[in-house]
A and B are shown apart, each in its own frame.
Chain A
Amino acid sequence: DAGVTQSPTHLIKTRGQHVTLRCSPISGHKSVSWYQQVLGQGPQFIFQYYEKEERGRGNFPDRFSARQFPNYSSELNVNALLLGDSALYLCASSLVLGPTGNQPQHFGDGTRLSIL
């Protein structure tokens, strides 16, 4: 069975540009979450979607937006890129809303975004 897939794997952008990252959850999973992992830190929560509705948002500026499609795949959009947006962006899916202890989130391998 395919796991969580993310595209692209690597991306280089310049300041001020816009980027779209994509995520396909595990088949049957209806919840998708996005995390940002900066070097030396743990993943930080950005967004959570369940059944195509936003169910949670982390402490990120409005330049960050996301959506979930009818097939449960998701996009993360970041506008007006800053150098500090350079990070690994992780997508995670789970069967139910939010992770639980016995229904943990499953992560993709991430998109490495570099801002020049």
Chain B
Amino acid sequence: DQQVKQNSPSLSVQEGRISILNCDYTNSMFDYFLWYKKYPAEGPTFLISISSIKDKNEDGRFTVFLNKSAKHLSLHIVPSQPGDSAVYFCAAISGNTPLVFGKGTRLSVIA
């Protein structure tokens, strides 16, 4: 049973527009959520995280929103740039447990 779900395998966005990547989870014990970005032939790179006690965290062009009642989080990238084209993984943790990843969403930013 997948505890972290990214239901959109891919997303295409025009340069300068907003990219919204979605993630759903089933385990209410998760207390931190993280987004990682992965380029081909490289390992995942940490992007941004949010604690379960918050509903928003912002870092430059990246903002993560958390809706605990809906067990849903989203990553907003504004404005989107061609260099943002990558696979984005949503991940969650509970205490000291290892990261639980979603399957990823491939973002393509078109110039």
Name A residues whose Cβ lies closer than 8 Å to a Cβ of B: 4, 33, 35, 40-45, 48, 55-56, 58, 90, 92, 97-102, 104-110
Q: Which 9 A/B pairs are nearest by Cβ-Cβ distance? A: A42-B101, A101-B32, A107-B43, A98-B96, A45-B98, A104-B46, A101-B49, A109-B43, A107-B44
* Size of the chain B interface, CB-CB below 8 angstroms: 29
| Chain A residue nearest to B47 in the complex (CB) | A104
With A43-B89, A43-B101, A109-B41: A104-B96 Cβ-Cβ less than 8 Å: no
Complex alpha-carbon distance, A105 and B104, angstroms: 17
Name B residues whose Cβ lies closer than 8 Å to a Cβ of A: 4, 6, 31-34, 36, 41-46, 49-51, 89, 91, 93, 95-104
Q: Which residues from A are CB-within-8-Å of B104?
A: 41-42
Q: CB distance A48 to B42 under 8 Å?
A: no
Which DSSP category, helix, strand, loop or mixed, fits chain A's interface?
loop
| Chain B residue nearest to A33 in the complex (CB) | B98
Complex alpha-carbon distance, A41 and B91, angstroms: 12
| Chain A residue nearest to B43 in the complex (CB) | A107
